[in-house]
């Protein structure tokens, strides 16, 4: 499918979405509802805080929806050993995708060895269990040069995706950042846009800019909006 064909196909758009609930006050009932909605709509994954991994895995058993969780969230400033331990626990519990926050302060301090090693170690442990690793850059806190460096380090460390934002900092994804990230990592690495994506038009802009995964808590309303905007079969054929 071309990008435009994907963006006119509800099922294809659903497979771009990580259906997300990371609010600290989320209840088990809300996590169950998130999982049920993801199963119904066949989203790519649910993204939940580590406490809810086991619950989500159980709820989504025998479905194609993957369970994603976060590591070092939302600041990225944990000791690397803490992140590695957190990742290991989540993987043992059944998580199939890890969204880790890079060490932003280390990157901005020029400690590229630490940033690279942390990502590489997490990529190794994820891949050893058949999971994938996404690296959250928190683009709103970085210069364009720092964003490029972060992307290059993630590529070198064999991460699977770079991701714009946690959604918990000053701002979220922008079209300009997604374009920069795609240009830097090339065509083969994943780019996830996340933070502030609440409408189908915003999702569309991010995909056309180079994102191939979208993190959002508004997946249901986005698909509904898309469905309303698509021409009906009758209007396409001229039938009444």
CA distances from 44 to 12, 20, 67, 92, 185 (A): 10, 11, 9, 20, 22
CB neighbourhood size of 110 (10 A): 11
Q: What is the dihedral of CA 25, 31, 34, 39, to 10 degrees?
A: 170
**What is the rounded distance in angstroms from the CA atom of residue 135 to the CA atom of residue 112?**
14
Burial of 129 (0-12, 13-18, 19+ CB in 10 A): middle
Tokens 């460390």 correspond to what residue? 157
Q: How far is CA 158 from the centre of its chain?
A: 17
Catalytic residues: 99, 163, 192
**What is the rounded distance in angstroms from the CA atom of residue 216 to the CA atom of residue 19?**
6
Residue 129 has which token pair? 């269990």
Pick the closest to residue 171 from 191, 196, 146, 151 (CA basis): 196
**What is the rounded distance in angstroms from the CA atom of residue 186 to the CA atom of residue 176?**
15
Q: Sign of the CA dihedral 122, 123, 127, 131?
A: positive
């Amino acid at each position: 499918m071309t990008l435009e064909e994907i963006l006119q196909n509800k099922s294809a758009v659903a497979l771009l979405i990580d259906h997300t609930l990371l609010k600290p006050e989320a209840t088990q009932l809300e996590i169950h509802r998130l999982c049920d909605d993801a199963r119904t709509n066949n989203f790519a994954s649910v993204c939940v805080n580590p406490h809810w991994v086991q619950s989500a895995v159980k709820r989504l058993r025998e479905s194609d929806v993957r369970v994603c969780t976060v590591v070092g969230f939302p600041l990225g400033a944990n000791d690397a050993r803490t992140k590695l331990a957190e990742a290991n626990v989540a993987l043992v519990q059944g998580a199939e995708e890890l969204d880790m926050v890079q060490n932003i302060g280390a990157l901005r301090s020029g400690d590229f060895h630490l940033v690279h090693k942390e990502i590489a170690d997490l990529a190794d442990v994820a891949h050893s269990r058949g999971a994938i690793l996404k690296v959250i850059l928190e683009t709103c806190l970085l210069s364009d040069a720092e964003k490029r460096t972060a992307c290059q380090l993630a590529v070198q460390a064999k991460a699977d995706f770079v991701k714009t934002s946690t959604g918990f900092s000053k701002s979220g994804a922008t079209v300009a950042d997604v374009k920069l990230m795609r240009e830097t990592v090339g065509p083969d690495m994943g780019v996830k846009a996340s933070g502030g994506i609440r409408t189908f038009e915003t999702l569309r802009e991010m995909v056309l800019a180079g994102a191939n995964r979208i993190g959002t808590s508004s997946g249901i309303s986005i698909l509904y909006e898309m469905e309303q905007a698509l021409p009906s079969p009758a209007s396409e054929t001229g039938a009444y």
